[in-house]
Amino acid sequence: MTTTIEIDGYLERKLDLLVGLGLYATKSEAVRDAVRRLLEQTDITKIALDMYLKGSVSLGFCCEIADLSCDEMLALLQRRGLKPKLGVESLGELESEVKAIESADSLLFELLPLAVLGRYLKLDFVSLSEKSFFIAEQQLDEIPFDTRRSVLTLLGGDESRLSVVKGIRGAEEFAAKNGLSIGEASSVLSALKIKALLISDDQRVRDVARISGCAVASSVS
């Protein structure tokens, strides 16, 4: 993807000077170098954490812009004595979501529940349940490799109750608008499309899902 930057006046004269002195071959090269230096000097991880702790972005979004895995981000929060915004906030909410899961025919898992359940239960819950399970196609790119491998194995069987939701459009715009990762945004939109109960532990994802009219429950339910 190409980004166009408009520069004129004082800055353009300075760029012309740098090119004239032979420090850069073109003004575009000078701008690229300036942007690279800016990114190197900026603590993007700290900015991402500040946004997450304020509740303006999800954990997945935080991982995305900090270029860290979910496990790495959770470990970073722990080292800094910070508590992730996950799960239900009250006993009443927990009871309500347990009932929602019991009555739902279809469940769609987003990043965190899928990673946790896949790691500790080896996704056995899929074969043991009579419900239908779904994953958004774009969410597969964000889950740990071992879990992704387990998911792809389950998708291969003729009697598999696990399916991938494809053809979701507008996930990037929805993600940018709501402070979600592209996979999380795709999960919300997929759950809305197939009318499934979204299983999510991230507080930001849960809030956005509810506002968007999507039923949601936590994996701890």
Task: Set out the domains of the chain in order of their start, with CATH numbers.
Answer: 9-79 (no CATH), 91-217 (3.40.50.1010)
* pLDDT given for residue 87 in this prediction: 80
pLDDT for the residue numbered 211: 96
Residue 220: its pLDDT value, please? Answer: 72
Q: In the prediction, which pLDDT does 1 show?
A: 61
Query: Residue written as tokens 């039923």?
Result: 215
Residues 6+ apart with CB under 8 A from 203: 55, 85, 86
**Pairwise CA distance, residues 221 & 210, whole Å:** 17
Residues of the chain with pLDDT under 50: 120-121
Q: How does DSSP classify residue 131?
A: S
Count other C-beta atoms under 10 Å from residue 105's C-beta: 10
Task: Report the predicted TM-score, pTM, of the whole model to 2 decimal places.
Answer: 0.79
pLDDT of residue 190: 96
